[in-house]
Amino acid sequence: MRGYPWKVGEKAVCIDDRWFDDVPEYAPKKGDILTVAAVSVEFIVPVGDVLLLSFNEIGWDWQAAAFRPLARQAPDISVFTAMLKPKTLEPVDG
């Protein structure tokens, strides 16, 4: 079983939307970004243990192998570094 260390609240992107024929029309499409609501393991014959994800945006449980965690961006601290730069004072006419 291929899995990732999924966490509730984490964003996931669909990378494989080849679902069975009987899934609802709102099934995730490749590129969809969803928020993990729950993580579970279920025994499915004949596959065995399957890691499943459920999402806030849609119903059903979906195989985790069809998703990957959305890449996290490093925080932009340029606003804070700009605040640390010394400012030049201008003389006041008086």
Sign of the dihedral defined by the CA atoms of residues 22, 26, 32, 34, in that order: negative
Domains held by the chain: number: 1
pTM for the model stands at 0.66
Rg (CA), the chain: 23
Which two three-digit tokens encode residue 34? 């969803």
**Residue 37 falls inside a structural domain:** yes
Q: What range does the domain containing 39 cover?
A: 11-84
pLDDT at 91: 78
Q: Say if 57 falls within a structural domain.
A: yes
- DSSP 3-state assignment of 1? coil
Which ranges of the chain would DSSP assign to H, the alpha helix?
78-84
pLDDT class of 4 with cuts at 50, 70, 90: low
pLDDT at 78 over 80: yes
Q: Quick check: is 1 in a domain? A: no
Over residues 5-61, the pLDDT tens digits come to 788 999 999 999 998 878 888 899 999 999 999 999 888 777 788 889 999 998 889
Whether 94 maps to a domain, the answer reads no
pLDDT for residue 37: 94
Cα(12)–Cα(35) distance, integer angstroms: 6
Q: Is residue 2 part of a domain?
A: no
6 in any annotated domain:
no
